[in-house]
Amino acid sequence: MPLRFSFSPYRLLFKRPFATSHGLRDGTDTLYIRAEEDGAVGHGEVTLPPYVKETIADTIERLNTLARKTFPRPGQLFTQLETLDEIKDAPAFRAGLSTALIDLISNNRQWTVRKLLEISGEEQPITLVTLGICPENEVAERLAELPRSAALKLKVGDPGSAARLEKVIGLDDRRLLLDGNQGFKTMLDAADLARAAGDRLIGFEQPFETATDAMNDWLAEETTVTVFADESIQDRADLGAKYSHFSGVNLKLMKCGGLDRAKAMADKARQLGMQVMLGSMSESSLGCSAMAQLAPEADIVDLDGPWLIKNDPFKGLDLVDGRLRLPEGPGMGAQLVGDLVFSPAA
> Which helix (DSSP H) or strand (DSSP E) does residue 6 occupy?
strand 4-20
More confidently predicted of 124 and 199: 199
> What domains can be seen in the chain, in order of their start residue?
4-115+339-344 (3.30.390.10), 126-335 (3.20.20.120)
| Alpha-helical regions (H) of the chain | 56-67, 77-84, 91-109, 113-116, 139-145, 161-171, 187-197, 215-223, 236-242, 253-256, 259-271, 285-291, 305-308
Q: What is the pLDDT of residues 295-325, one digit of tens each?
A: 999 999 999 999 999 999 999 999 998 999 9
pLDDT for 200 beyond 90: yes
- Higher-pLDDT residue of 69 and 228 is 228
- Count other C-beta atoms under 10 Å from residue 78's C-beta: 9
Average pLDDT over the chain, rounded to an integer: 93
- CA dist 200 to 152, 194, 279, 310, Å? 10, 10, 20, 30
Please name which of 194, 211, 215 lies closest in space to residue 203, comparing C-alpha atoms: 194
Beta partners for 323?
320
Using DSSP bridges, classify how beta strands 23-37 and 40-48 pair: parallel, antiparallel or unpaired.
antiparallel
Distance CA 39, CA 23 (A): 43
Quick: pLDDT tens for 29-70: 999 999 998 899 999 999 999 989 999 999 999 999 988 877
SS3 147: coil
* Residue 233 exposure: Cα atoms within 13 Å on the Cβ side: 32
Q: Is the pLDDT of residue 74 over 60?
A: no
Residues 153, 126: contact at Cβ < 8 Å? no
* Alpha helices (runs of H) in 85-202, residue ranges in sequence order: 91-109, 113-116, 139-145, 161-171, 187-197
What pLDDT was estimated at residue 72? 63
DSSP three-state, residue 309:
strand
Angle formed by the axes of helices 91-109 and 56-67, nearest 10°? 50
Q: State the Cα angle at 10 between 45 and 324, rounded to 5°.
A: 45
**What's the rounded mean pLDDT across residues 247-256?**
97
Considering only CA atoms, which of 287, 234, 216 is closest in space to residue 47?
287
The three-class DSSP label of residue 279 is strand
Output the CA torsion sign for 62, 66, 72, 73.
positive
DSSP 8-state symbol, 63: H
Which residue did the predictor score with more confidence, 291 or 120? Answer: 291
The pLDDT tens digits for 104-161 are: 999 999 999 999 899 987 768 999 999 999 999 999 999 999 999 999 999 999 999 9
**Which of 180, 155, 158 lies closest to 168 in space, CA to CA?**
155
**pLDDT value at position 22?**
72
Each residue's pLDDT tens digit, 326-338: 888 899 989 999 9
Q: Which residues contact 56 (CB under 8 A, 6 or more apart)?
A: 9, 29, 30, 31, 46, 48
* Residue 1 in this model has a pLDDT that exceeds 90: no
Q: Are the CB atoms for 320 and 313 separated by under 8 Å?
A: no
